[in-house]
Structure 1
Amino acid sequence: MKTTKKKQFKNIEEVFLQINHDYVKINKRESKRNNLVLRTVLAEILKIMRECDPLFDSMKPRLDYLGSYYDGLRVGHPTEFDINVILKLPINYSNIKLDCTKTEYDYTNVILPSEFRRLCKSTTTSKKGFTKTELWCDSTHRLSVVKFRSWMQSVVDSAFSKLPISNGRHVLKVKNIIYELTAKMSGPANTITIYKNTNIIDVDLVPTFAFDLPSGKKSKTKIKCLNSAVNFHREEFEYNSRYFIVPKPTRDEYLWRLTFPFQERACMKKQNNFKSALKLIKLLRDTQRFHKLASYYIKSLFLWEARSQNDEFWMKSLSDLVIYMLKKLRDHLASKEIKNYWCSENNLLEKLKHETCINWSNKLSHIINDIDQKKYHNPSIIFKYFTVKPFNVN
Structure 2
Amino acid sequence: FILLCKINNKSLGSYSNNVRIKYPSEFDVIFKLSVPFSKYINVEEDEDRPGYVNLDFEDVMEEMYECNGYTDAYNRFVDLVDTNNNYLRRSNLQRWLKDVMETCLDTFGNQVRGKWGHLYTLIYSKRGLAHTIYAKCSKHSISIDFVPGICFGPTEWMQLPHSRKFKHKCDQWFAVPKPTSGPKGTRRYAFMVCNPKVEHDLLLGRQNLKVVFRLLKSLRNAYGMYRLKSYFLTTAFLWEIQIQSDRFWHNPLHILLEHMLETLASDFADGSLPYFWNKDLNLLDILSDDDIDELAYKLGRAHETLRQYKFEPNLSKKRCLTHFELP
User: If the length of structure 1 is used for normalisation, what is the TM-score?
Assistant: 0.73
Which of 227, 252, 260 pairs up with 1:325? 260
Distance 1:114 1:362 in 2: 51
Do 1:120 and 1:132's aligned partners in 2 also have CA atoms closer than 8 Å?
no
- Gap runs ≥5 in structure 2: 182-186
Distance 1:137 1:189 in 2: 20
Q: Which amino acid aligns with 2:125?
A: K
Question: Which of the two has higher C-alpha Rg?
Answer: 1
Q: Residue 305 of structure 2 corresponds to which residue in structure 1?
A: 370
How does 1:58-137 map onto structure 2 within 5 Å? 58-59=3-4, 61-67=6-12, 68-91=14-37, 93=39, 95-117=40-62, 119=64, 124-127=69-72, 129-137=73-81
Spell out, residue by residue over 1:247-291, the C-alpha distance to the aligned partner (whole angstroms, 9 max, x if none). Answer: 112351100111111111222222111111012111111221111
2:255 is matched by which residue type in structure 1? D
Summarize the Cα distance change of 1:210–1:232 in structure 2 as closer, same or farther, 3 Å threshold.
Answer: farther
Specify the code of the residue in structure 2 equivalent to 1:386.
Answer: F
Residue 227 of structure 1: how far off its partner (Å)? 3.9
Shift of the 379–327 alpha-carbon distance from structure 1 to 2, 3 Å rule, reads farther
Indicate how the Cα distance of structure 1 residues 112 and 237 shifts in structure 2: closer, same or farther if over 3 A, else same. farther
What is the CA-CA distance between 1:239 and the residue it aligns to? 2.7
Aligned to 1:383: 321
| 1:243 counterpart (161, 166, 173) | 173
Could you tell me which amino acid in structure 2 is paired with residue 231 of structure 1? L
Matched, 1:212 2:142: no
Q: How far does residue 83 in structure 1 lie from its aligned partner after superposition?
A: 1.3
Identity of aligned residues (%): 23
Aligned to 2:160: 231
5+ residue gaps, structure 1, are 1-55, 165-169, 214-223, 390-394
8 Å contact kept, 1:111–1:141? yes
Partner of 1:305: 240
Contact 2:64 2:74 in 1 (8 A): yes
Counterparts of 1:185 and 1:250, CA distance in 2: 16
Tell me the amino acid that sits aligned with residue 88 of structure 1. S
Whole-Å separation in 2 of the counterparts to 1:259 and 1:245: 7
Structure 1 residues 288 and 267: CA distance shift in structure 2, 3 A: same
Structure 2 counterpart of 1:182, from 117, 120, 123: 123
**d(CA) in 2 for partners of 1:101, 1:189:** 22
Matching of residue 172 in structure 1 with residue 102 in structure 2: no
Report the Cα offset of residue 342 of structure 1: 1.3
Q: SS at 1:193's partner residue? A: strand
**Counterpart residue number, 1:339:** 274
Whole-angstrom CA distance in 2 between matches of 1:209 and 1:110: 9
Q: Residue 57 of structure 1 corresponds to which residue in structure 2?
A: 2
Map 1:246-257; keep pairs closer than 5 Å.
Answer: 246-251=176-181, 252-257=187-192
Match of 1:285 among 205, 220, 227: 220
Q: How many residues align?
A: 315
RMSD: 2.4
One-letter amino acid matched to 2:61: F
CA distance in 1, matches of 2:143, 2:46: 36
Asked whether the equivalents of residues 209 and 244 of structure 1 are also in contact (C-alpha less than 8 Å), the reply is yes
Whichever residue aligns with residue 323 of structure 2, its letter is Y
Could you tell me whether the CA contact under 8 Å between 1:163 and 1:172 is conserved in 2?
no
Q: Which residue number in structure 2 is paired with residue 296 of structure 1? A: 231
Is the contact made by 1:120 and 1:133 (CA closer than 8 Å) also made in structure 2?
no
Q: CA deviation at 1:246?
A: 0.9
Question: Secondary structure, in 3 states, of the residue corresponding to 1:135?
Answer: helix
In the alignment, residue 169 of structure 2 is paired with which amino acid?
Answer: Y
TM-score computed with the length of structure 2 as normaliser: 0.87
| Contact 2:56–2:86 under 8 Å retained in 1 | yes
- Tell me, yes or no, if the aligned pair for 1:64 and 1:86 is still in contact at 8 Å: no
